[in-house]
């Protein structure tokens, strides 16, 4: 909601990225969410990541469904086109948009209601297609915009503001994504910008479907005691497994990592993800082990976070590889490359005589 447009006067001392842009250039309209809403922190992290990647604003396409979370696409990168579609159906819009122009970066922002209830089917099928996009779930365990009903990610035993207790097991998007063959699966927390920003950067650069499930407390309807998606609970039961530092191709790795502490994965565009495993046993390249670990932690009420799984091998073809479409975006092919022409029609008709 943009009753007010933010003034964009950049202070000369603000740091600038490779394009000469300040963070301000990646902001959007003023947020109309509740003060303290986790979603606003994620917006800030997206701004930071886009700035950090020196993304050309017009090359970012922002897609969303309906919900408090879905509104946030208006609050960052106002220089990129946004498509705030209908409830739960953003993945199909993303699929079509991506099919038309594979050269842009696609970021989808959704809520747990938008993704796991009404949108569950489309979400799963976008993963199955390995659609090249970053999909962020701003997961608060409730329907914020419609005032606090449980969503399908609400944990068993979690209490609604009105006192009702949820008895149905949650659908976990991370497990689902692992099962369905997603090639980049991460979880984070809106309050942990240090973890979140590099994940967003890496997700944007990953070729294929990148999921980041971000726990994002709803201060109005689900931040009370007894809620497993509250700030307090999340902070405490939050177990980082694999930290990721993202280094764009254009940049050197600058941080010092102790021996054996970090491993490096090179993405298709030459960028690197430096993985730091907090638990030597954990292998973010093993899909089944990752799923097992997620489940194990979950059963003791913990959220495993970080870059949980990554397949940077490129073995699983993304949507355009499956479709065998050319590098030139379909929307830029000249008509001449598309029409068979009048002569060819003659030949075609011969079959129908």
Ligand X SMILES: Cc1ncc(C[n+]2csc(CCOP(=O)(O)OP(=O)(O)O)c2C)c(N)n1
Q: Coil, strand, or helix at residue 331?
A: helix
The distance of closest approach from Cβ of residue 264 to Mg ion in the complex, given in angstroms and rounded to an integer, is 35
Write down the H helix ranges in 133-277.
173-179, 193-205, 231-236
DSSP 121: H
Task: Pick from 76, 209, 221, 309 the residue near ligand SF4 by CB under 6 A.
Answer: 221
Query: Do residues 185 and 208 touch, judged by C-beta distance below 8 A?
Result: no
The distance of closest approach from Cβ of residue 67 to ligand X in the complex, given in angstroms and rounded to an integer, is 3
Query: Do residues 301 and 228 touch, judged by C-beta distance below 8 A?
Result: yes
Task: Pick from 128, 147, 235, 251 the residue near a second copy by CB under 8 A.
Answer: 128
Query: Do residues 22 and 10 touch, judged by C-beta distance below 8 A?
Result: yes
Block residue for tokens 């949980």? 308
Would you count residue 100 as binding other proteins (CB under 8 A)?
yes
Binding mask 51-80 for ligand X (x = CB under 6 A): ---------------xxxx-----------
End-to-end CA distance of the chain: 59
Strand partners of residue 138: 111, 214
Would you count residue 89 as binding other proteins (CB under 8 A)?
yes
The distance of closest approach from Cβ of residue 204 to a second copy in the complex, given in angstroms and rounded to an integer, is 23
Per CB under 8 A, contacts with other proteins among 106-165 are 117-118, 120-122, 125, 143-147, 149-150, 152
Query: Do residues 85 and 118 touch, judged by C-beta distance below 8 A?
Result: no
Cα of 313 vs its chain's centroid, Å: 20
Rounded CA separation 199/193 (Å)? 10
Q: Which stretch binds ligand SF4 (CB under 6 A): 139-147, 280-288, 299-307, 318-326?
A: 139-147
DSSP 231: H
The distance of closest approach from Cβ of residue 145 to ligand SF4 in the complex, given in angstroms and rounded to an integer, is 6
Q: Which stretch binds ligand SF4 (CB under 6 A): 87-95, 121-129, 218-226, 234-242?
A: 218-226
Q: Which is nearer to ligand SF4, 72 or 95 (CB)?
A: 72
The distance of closest approach from Cβ of residue 247 to other proteins in the complex, given in angstroms and rounded to an integer, is 25
Strands 272-277 and 238-247: antiparallel
Where along the sequence are the contacts to a second copy (CB under 8 A)?
117-121, 124-125, 128-130, 152, 167-169, 171-172, 175-176, 179-181, 288, 291-292, 295-296, 316-317, 322
């Amino acid at each position: 909601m943009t009753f007010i447009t933010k003034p964009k006067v950049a202070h000369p001392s603000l740091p600038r990225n490779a394009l000469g842009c300040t963070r301000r250039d990646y902001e959007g309209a003023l947020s109309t969410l509740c003060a303290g809403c986790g979603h606003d922190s994620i917006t800030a992290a997206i701004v930071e990541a886009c700035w950090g990647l020196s993304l050309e604003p017009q090359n970012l396409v922002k897609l969303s469904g309906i919900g408090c979370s879905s509104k946030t696409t208006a609050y960052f990168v106002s220089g990129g086109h946004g498509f705030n579609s209908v409830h739960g159906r953003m993945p199909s819009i993303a699929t079509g948009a991506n099919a038309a122009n594979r050269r842009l970066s696609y970021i989808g922002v959704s809520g747990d209601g938008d993704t796991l209830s009404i949108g569950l089917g489309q979400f799963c099928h976008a993963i199955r297609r390995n659609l090249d996009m970053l999909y962020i779930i701003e997961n608060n365990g409730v329907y914020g915009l419609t005032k606090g009903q449980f969503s399908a990610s609400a944990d068993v035993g979690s209490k609604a503001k009105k006192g009702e207790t949820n008895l149905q097991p949650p659908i976990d998007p991370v497990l689902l994504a692992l099962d369905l063959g997603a090639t980049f699966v991460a979880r984070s927390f809106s309050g942990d910008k240090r973890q979140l920003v590099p994940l967003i950067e890496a997700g944007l650069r990953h070729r294929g479907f990148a999921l980041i499930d971000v726990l994002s407390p709803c201060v109005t309807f689900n931040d009370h005691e007894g809620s497993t998606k509250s700030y307090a609970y999340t902070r405490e039961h939050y177990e980082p497994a694999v930290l990721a530092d993202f280094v764009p191709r254009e940049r050197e790795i600058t941080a010092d990592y102790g021996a054996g502490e970090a491993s490096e994965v090179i993405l298709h565009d030459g960028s690197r993800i430096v993985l730091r495993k907090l638990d030597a046993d954990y292998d973010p390249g093993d899909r089944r082990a990752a799923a097992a670990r997620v489940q194990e932690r979950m059963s003791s009420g913990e959220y495993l976070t970080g870059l949980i799984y990554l397949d940077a091998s490129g073995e699983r073809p993304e949507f355009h590889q499956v479709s065998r479409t050319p590098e030139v975006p379909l929307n830029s092919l000249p008509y001449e490359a598309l029409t068979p022409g009048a002569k060819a029609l003659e030949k075609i008709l011969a079959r129908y005589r």
